[in-house]
Structure 1
């Protein structure tokens, strides 16, 4: 039986890279993307290929429909059907809402939410054709509760959560499952701006008394991608009982 193919956006580092490594260890073909970090993306590709799998890299903005069209054309040319889509690409923006300008708003909206539309819109026809597929969206607990000084980020993640629930209802008759993981504080470069006392206070506020690990996100993603087909339309918090 030929290997399945997973497409992961934002996979040069952090959560996306951890997810890619997990799927590589399970023998999947991989398509990985990032917007700008070409050197890191190529390093990740080499690491994945050292595990004996095939990997296609693509550098581009997933918020552009034309770019995503090119990505899917290249992926299908090399691997055929995309079996699993993982929408992980995302950026944060921290600051007062009143200080935010339209350019920043539009950038985070395109990167975090429009990218999910673009990738799903191009992946779904192939999944419907074979009557199976998995879509997993990487979201945030701030999409559930909202975060002060992260209004735009919270809005995009809340949009992903609602998008996930609605799309799952449309695609369930075609045996396609759509779920989201609402991550809490995960140990990635996105949190490295915090001073030590700020990080200590953050960890103290989490009942698990630590940050989450990228490998833990990857394990849950793989469970959703390979597991129970009746689990559908869910936004699953992964936050150490934080929120």
Structure 2
């Protein structure tokens, strides 16, 4: 028995069905004489409702890929942009997260599991963690997240302003004059272009997600 295949099936189930299904798979593995698989399956943790909803979104390959691309670009921006630019991007990323969370809520409804605004708020927290933490992003991309990760406001570590201050404090010789916009090197321009493209793609994905969610709502209302 392949424990990874079992995990793929288990984490697609609504949380209320998870424990019973997992225990049944453990029994099946033991019956087949596969003690190692039985131990692995028994160690699978039941996801919270918010984690399960976010996992539904992770399985939407196009939207998930755009969010992961945006995450990488924003983490790079956090290291390179000035505080004002990063605050502007942070405002934009909140709109992207809200749109994707709405889509996740629509997917949950389609799966027969409507969720409350408080759960969607936790889904947004998960998506913020995906943007901020590459390890969370990697785990979320598997579709097997089990709980809402802890995340600091915006991004972990020092702020861009603190990074600049530390850098300026290190050299003992006089600091060079700040470069003008024209003096930005090719690598900086490339980073900015990449970030712009990632933000545009993610924003479009969030808008499309909202449109699809509105369509699902109208269809449900007409059906009712």
- Judge same fold: TM > 0.5, yes or no: no
Q: TM-score, normalised by structure 1?
A: 0.24
Q: Does 1 or 2 have the higher relative contact order (CA < 8 Å, sep 6+)?
A: 2
Structure 1 or 2: more helix by fraction: 2
Q: TM-score, normalised by structure 2?
A: 0.26
